[in-house]
A = this chain, B = another copy of it.
């Protein structure tokens, strides 16, 4: 087997454990110097390949690579850039393969969501056609947990743990003061098209009737009357009401609440996130004192509260990508497989063809959402629970977490500049 270099890139929204996958790839590749030369990382994802901005990870110390495991974000830079389709723009794919060829790259590890799997699939296909076949392995990543073929997506478990913990803590706050102060607390969470993050808030509950009392999923059409009636009933019964709402909460006609215009008591038009819109509805109709929170990036960056299971899985899908590539596999994504064990949660690493995962979005299945559309089922809880197990705190210094900063040394360019 000839020695080839590898290219690794991070794509799309970053997570608390994306760098753990990078760590899995690089540490594993370093163990096979007879097969993999250097691992080049794309600066800002796939753009790094197109612009020939390759970061030479061999310049980073073992300690710094190990520290990626507890560093949130995307250490090499990620990007929001969707490759054109192969039919529409062959030039981009051509350029990628040119760059890979110029730098003797035989492996392409792409760490991202559905779009990225599509790109990796096409690179695999097109590189073969061009006579310079590249082994392409996808590594799943998305907090939205919406990739098919894998039991879960690295990044999701840590957000789920953060949301469940935060809702549990904030509910104690509201519970303490509801007699004379805030009665309704609304927390807006990410997941515009899939309700997995919203669902994870239910893991805050120890028993039925515990907060959160209502979940608003993007899979369920929002109805103002049902929402307000449930808030009222919950406040009357428990003294307060905690709601977790997806940023993708929408009316039956598909309009997002966050894009809607409501008018306050003074006739002012109100625009903004989902949480403030819901809060205003509560205030105007029921008159309850409210508070709302939008955690935004905090939720997907919260490495301090990462799920140990999620960190392990993120590392494992990166590690397996290298091993699969060396075993001659191609055009697959590494997956997480939940073993059929009624006693405990057991998982292993599997694989799925890239063409099967590319551009497919998994929403919450119907049987995971309660009949009223406002909570999860016991089956959903059983699915979610194992994913947030275990605490994996980063090291702290001076009271805050310590993250690594890589040197990010660029490889010398060999080609002329490329315009996208």
**Which residues of A pack against B, CB within 8 Å?**
10, 13-14, 16, 44, 47, 71-75, 77-81, 161, 164-166, 168-170, 172-177, 179-181, 185, 187, 203-204, 261, 264, 268-273, 276, 291-298, 300-305, 307, 385, 388-391, 393, 396, 398-401, 403
Contact = CB atoms under 8 A, between A and B. Distances in A.
Given A268-B271, A307-B399, 11 more contacts: A14-B172, A72-B173, A77-B176, A77-B177, A164-B400, A173-B300, A268-B269, A276-B276, A293-B294, A295-B295, A295-B298
A288 to B, nearest CB: 14
Contact of A166 (B302, B391, B398): B302
A74 to B, nearest CB: 4
A44 B180 CA distance: 8
B268 A399 contact: no
Contacts of A187: 298
Contact of A168 (B264, B293, B300, B401): B401
Contacts of A172: 14, 71-73, 301, 403
Nearest to A188: B294
5 pairs of A and B residues whose beta carbons are closest in the complex: A73-B172, A388-B399, A74-B176, A293-B296, A169-B301
Contacts of A71: 172
A235 to B, nearest CB: 16
A203 B397 CA distance: 11
B271 A264 contact: yes
B301 A304 contact: no
11 contacts: A13-B177, A14-B177, A72-B169, A72-B172, A75-B176, A80-B180, A170-B296, A170-B297, A185-B297, A304-B305, A393-B393
B269 A400 contact: no
A78 B168 contact: no
B399 A390 contact: yes
Indicate how many identical chains form the complex.
2
Contact of A73 (B161, B176, B388): B176
Contacts of A166: 298, 301-302
B78 A177 contact: yes
B276 A169 contact: no
Contacts of A293: 294-298
Contacts of A44: 179-180
Contacts of A185: 297
Given A176-B73, A399-B389, A294 B297 contact: no
A269 B261 CA distance: 10
Contacts of A399: 161, 164, 203, 307, 385, 388-390
Contacts of A173: 14, 72-73, 297, 300-301
Contact of A272 (B181, B203, B270): B270
B398 A203 contact: yes
A177 B268 contact: no
Contact of A271 (B74, B204, B270, B391): B270
A309 B123 CA distance: 54
